Amino acid sequence: MELTRAQEIFDQLYGNLPGYEIARAEKQRTGRGDASITYGEVLPAPFHEMVSAVSPKPGETFIDLGSGTGKATLLAAMLFPFSRLVGVELLPGLGDAARQVLQRYDAEFRPQLPPEHHGQRIEFIDGDMLEVDFKDTDVVFAHGTCYSPQLMQQLAVKLEELKPGARAVIAGQTIQSPAFSLLGMKVMRADWGSSITALYQRR
Ligand SMILES: C[S@@+](CC[C@H](N)C(=O)[O-])C[C@H]1O[C@@H](n2cnc3c(N)ncnc32)[C@H](O)[C@@H]1O
């Protein structure tokens, strides 16, 4: 789907959704105060540019590690020919919000979209990205500017389980692993500011 049409649907889905407030309330409710759960959201055009740079192919799969209210996952579904998309999020209130948006997408928008969108499987799961099995995923996205060094170290080890040819788009962080070749570095603008985004391919 064209970016302009995806942006229109995205605006209708997310126009009134207070992602930052939900994140704040969830931090209080869960008592978590670590930097890794600092909230922030992608913007459609910069996200489109980042994922385009790793050339998703029809039938490939996508995961957003730390998916918040689901913006990156739903944009990826609208903009690219992924067959399966997963968002994994630690704070359940954000996951609930993402699942509600997905319900609206399915009811109000998806039926009118071209057929290639009808069969896409989209799911938001609650949990820790380090405990999710995503080794068969083709394109991994992480808006990880605030992820702690410890989380990034553990994530780098997990990313090594990806199959050769898989790509990782990591905003705000780099991974140090000989298992990956660096495809490029780009600046990604988000709703809170900009971060250097590293694009990797599993060797
Ligand atoms: C910067 S936000 C990104 C939200 C969404 N991906 C986007 O770009 O619009 C990072 C998210 O990662 C979540 N997070 C942090 N650590 C996590 C972990 N270990 N497992 C799953 N989610 C995590 C945070 O709660 C937060 O919602």
Query: What amino acid occupies position 60?
Result: E
With residue 197 as reference, give the H or E element that holds it.
Answer: strand 193-202
Report the alpha-carbon distance of residue 86 to residue 74 in Å, rounded: 9
Total domains, the chain: 1
Decide if pLDDT at 32 tops 90. Answer: no
CATH number at residue 12: 3.40.50.150
- 28 C-alpha to ligand 1 centroid (Å): 16
Alpha helices (runs of H) in the chain, residue ranges in sequence order: 3-14, 19-30, 44-52, 71-79, 92-104, 149-159
- Give pLDDT, residue 120: 98
Whether 71 is in the pocket of ligand 1, judged by its Cβ within 6 Å, is: yes
The domain containing residue 79 runs over which residues? 3-202
Average pLDDT, the chain: 96
128 lines ligand 1 (CB under 6 A): yes
What pLDDT score does 33 carry? 81
- Asked whether 62 lines ligand 1 (CB < 6 A), one says no
In this structure, are residues 128 and 66 in contact, taking their beta carbons and an 8 Å threshold?
no
| Candidate of 51, 73, 90, 153 to mutate for ligand 1, largest count of ligand atoms within 8 Å of Cβ | 90
Report pLDDT digits (tens) over 76-118. 999 999 999 999 999 999 999 999 999 999 999 999 999 999 9
Determine the pLDDT at residue 24. Answer: 95
Per-residue pLDDT band for 36 (boundaries 50, 70, 90) equals confident
Task: State whether the beta carbon of 46 lies less than 6 angstroms from ligand 1.
Answer: no
How large is the average pLDDT for residues 26-51? 93
